[in-house]
């Protein structure tokens, strides 16, 4: 049986879009930047702010608004149609302080299918790396039995890493990556992979 490894932010949810539309834009009313203009992730350079300021704002948004985020509607519909055909796990890179809220969000929205939540710490200056844990998604995949895995992520670097390890991988279309597909097209492709 195949196992799909799902990134969480900007794959299962629209974290960047929701942060940008409900947090960044209202406090920067004069900006001409649209979500579609965010061609880099992290977007600090595009937005003209420091990386520290961006991360502080995003982390505050996670702390106060994450529970209210909806799942990506196409992804939720895909799970309703195909979720029973394989196993699923979540693999996300978030600050350790945000991991409990992220896990709760995943289980609330996708707990019928995703019952394994895995974190690779996205460390902040105030955190120390925990010992005996995976520090990258690559380390996690090197530990995991990779037979039958399919990885879905919005980061081209993470997709390249997975492909280098022999893992099937699909790039979730976002403005900051080169995917020319729609989210719906990508999920249709994923459904076809499950039928192979």
- pLDDT on residue 17: 98
CA gap 176, 163 in Å, rounded: 19
Q: pLDDT of the chain along its 196 residues, tens only?
A: 899 999 999 999 999 999 999 999 999 989 999 999 999 999 999 999 999 999 999 999 999 999 999 999 999 999 999 999 999 999 999 998 899 999 999 999 999 999 999 999 887 877 677 777 898 999 999 999 999 999 999 999 999 999 999 999 999 999 999 999 999 999 999 999 998 8
CA gap 58, 24 in Å, rounded: 9
Structure tokens at 29: 């009313």
- pTM value? 0.95
**How many CB atoms sit inside 10 A of residue 149's CB?**
20
- pLDDT on residue 131: 76
- pLDDT on residue 108: 97
CA gap 106, 112 in Å, rounded: 10
- pLDDT on residue 120: 93
- pLDDT on residue 125: 73
- pLDDT on residue 144: 93
| DSSP conformation letters of the chain | --EEEE--TTTTB-HHHHHIIIIIHHH-TT----GGG--SSS-HHHHTS-HHHHHHHHHHHHHHHGGGPPBPHHHHHHHHHHGGGSEEEEEE---GGGHHHHHHHHHHHHTTTEEEEEE-----TT--PPTTS-SSHHHHHHHS--TTEEEEES-HHHHHHHHHTT-EEEEPP-TTS---S-HHHHHHHHHHHHH-
CA gap 186, 158 in Å, rounded: 16
CA gap 134, 139 in Å, rounded: 6
Question: Please, which residues bridge with residue 87 across strands?
Answer: 3
Contact present, 87 and 110 (Cβ < 8 Å):
no
End-to-end CA distance of the chain: 11
- pLDDT on residue 133: 82
- pLDDT on residue 20: 98
């Amino acid at each position: 049986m195949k196992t799909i490894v799902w990134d969480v932010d900007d794959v299962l949810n629209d974290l960047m879009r929701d942060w940008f539309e409900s947090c960044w834009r209202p406090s920067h009313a004069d900006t001409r930047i649209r979500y579609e203009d965010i061609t880099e992730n992290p977007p600090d350079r595009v937005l003209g702010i420091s990386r520290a300021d961006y991360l502080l704002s995003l982390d505050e948004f996670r702390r106060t608004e994450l529970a209210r985020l909806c799942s990506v509607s196409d992804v939720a519909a895909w799970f309703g149609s195909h979720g029973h055909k394989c196993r699923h796990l979540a693999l996300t890179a978030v600050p350790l302080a945000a991991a409990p809220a992220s896990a709760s969000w995943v289980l609330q929205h996708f707990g019928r299918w995703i019952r394994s939540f895995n974190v690779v710490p996205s460390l902040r200056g105030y955190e120390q790396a925990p010992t005996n844990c995976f520090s990258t998604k690559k380390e996690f995949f090197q530990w995991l039995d990779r037979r039958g895995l399919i990885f879905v992520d919005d980061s081209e670097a993470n997709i390249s890493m997975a492909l280098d390890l022999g893992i099937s991988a699909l790039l979730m279309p976002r403005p900051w990556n080169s995917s020319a597909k729609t989210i719906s097209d990508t999920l249709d492709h994923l459904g076809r992979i499950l039928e192979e």
